Homo-oligomer: A and B are copies of this chain.
Amino acid sequence: MQKISDARTIQALMHKNGLTDIFGPDVTGMELRTYADREMICSMGDTLDGLYVLVSGKLKVYTLLPNGKTMLLRFSRPPALIGDVEWMAQYPVKNNVEAVGACSLLVITRELILEKQANNPAFLWFMIQNLSHKLYTLGNASAMNLLYPVENRFASYLLSLISEENSTGQAEEIRTSTLTETAEMLGTSYRHLNRVIQRLIQEGVLVRKKGRLLILNEIKLRELAGNHLYN
C-alpha cells in the first residue's frame, strides 16, 4: 500500500467521482492510497481510520463464518464505500476487503468526518444511498445464494473475474484464490466445486489451460449466472 498526498491528483479524483458536490471544493484531510493485487484493504478485527472510497480497480469483500470458513459477499467496483457499515454504526469490522488487481482508494479521515461532515446533509445522504444500495444488492445475493445451486453461483463468480478477451476471443479467469478458497467463499466444498468445473468442461463452457480456466462459451456462462449474484 502506498500513500499519495498530491492534492491536485486527489482533487481530480474527487471531482471525477462526484465527491466535490458532497464535500465541497476546498476540502482537506483526504488521502489517496493505492494497493497491489491481493493486498488487504482491511481485515476482520481491524479498527478503521476512516471511510474508504474505491475510485479505480476492483475489490473482493468476504466475511468469516463461525465455522472458520469464508464467504464471498460481493465484488465492488467504483464508486464504492468501504467501512461505512462498521464505522458509522460502530460495529467491529467483520469483513475482509482484498484488492483484485491494482486499486486506488480515497480515504476520508476520521477527523474530516467528525469535525466537518457529521452534520453535512449531502454527505449523510451519500451514506444513506450507499447503504440502501448495499442492502438492496445483498438482499438479492442472499436470495440467490439460497435459491441457486453451486453451478449457477460459480458461473456468476467467474463472470465477476474475467479479464478482457484475448486475441483468440476467449476470456480468461483472473485467479485471485486457490480453488479451495474459492469453494469456501461460495459456501461449498472443494470436491463439489471440482465436480461443477468438470461438468462445465464436459459441456464445452470452460477449458483448463495451464492451471487457469478459460471461458469457451461466455453466452452459456451468462445464462447459467442469471442475475449476477456478486455484482
Interface residues of A (CB under 8 A from B): 63, 65-67, 69, 71, 73, 84-85, 88-89, 91, 94-95, 118-121, 124-125, 127-129, 131-136, 138-139, 141-143, 145-147, 187, 226-227
Contacts of A118 in B (CB 8 A): 121
A169 to chain B, nearest CB (A): 31
Contact yes or no, A147 B187, CB < 8 A: yes
Contacts of A66 in B (CB 8 A): 147, 226-227
Determine chain A's interface SS by DSSP, over half rule: helix
Cα A131 to Cα B141 in complex, Å, equals 17
Contacts of A132 in B (CB 8 A): 84-85, 88-89, 91, 131
Contact yes or no, A145 B147, CB < 8 A: no
Closest to A129 in B: B89
A63 to chain B, nearest CB (A): 6
Closest to A91 in B: B136
Contacts of A145 in B (CB 8 A): 142, 145-146
Which interface residue of A118, A121, A142 has the most chain B CB atoms within 10 A?
Answer: A142
Contact of A128 among B65, B73, B88, B146 (CB under 8 A): B88
Contact of A121 among B88, B121, B134, B226 (CB under 8 A): B121
Cα A85 to Cα B128 in complex, Å, equals 9
Cα A142 to Cα B136 in complex, Å, equals 13
Contact yes or no, A85 B142, CB < 8 A: no
Cα A124 to Cα B133 in complex, Å, equals 16
A4 to chain B, nearest CB (A): 29
Cα A63 to Cα B141 in complex, Å, equals 12
Contacts of A121 in B (CB 8 A): 118-121, 124
Contact of A85 among B91, B135, B146, B147 (CB under 8 A): B135
Closest to A87 in B: B132
- 11 new A-B pairs (CB below 8 Å) besides A71-B143, A89-B133? A69-B147, A73-B139, A88-B132, A89-B128, A124-B124, A131-B131, A135-B138, A138-B139, A141-B142, A142-B142, A147-B187
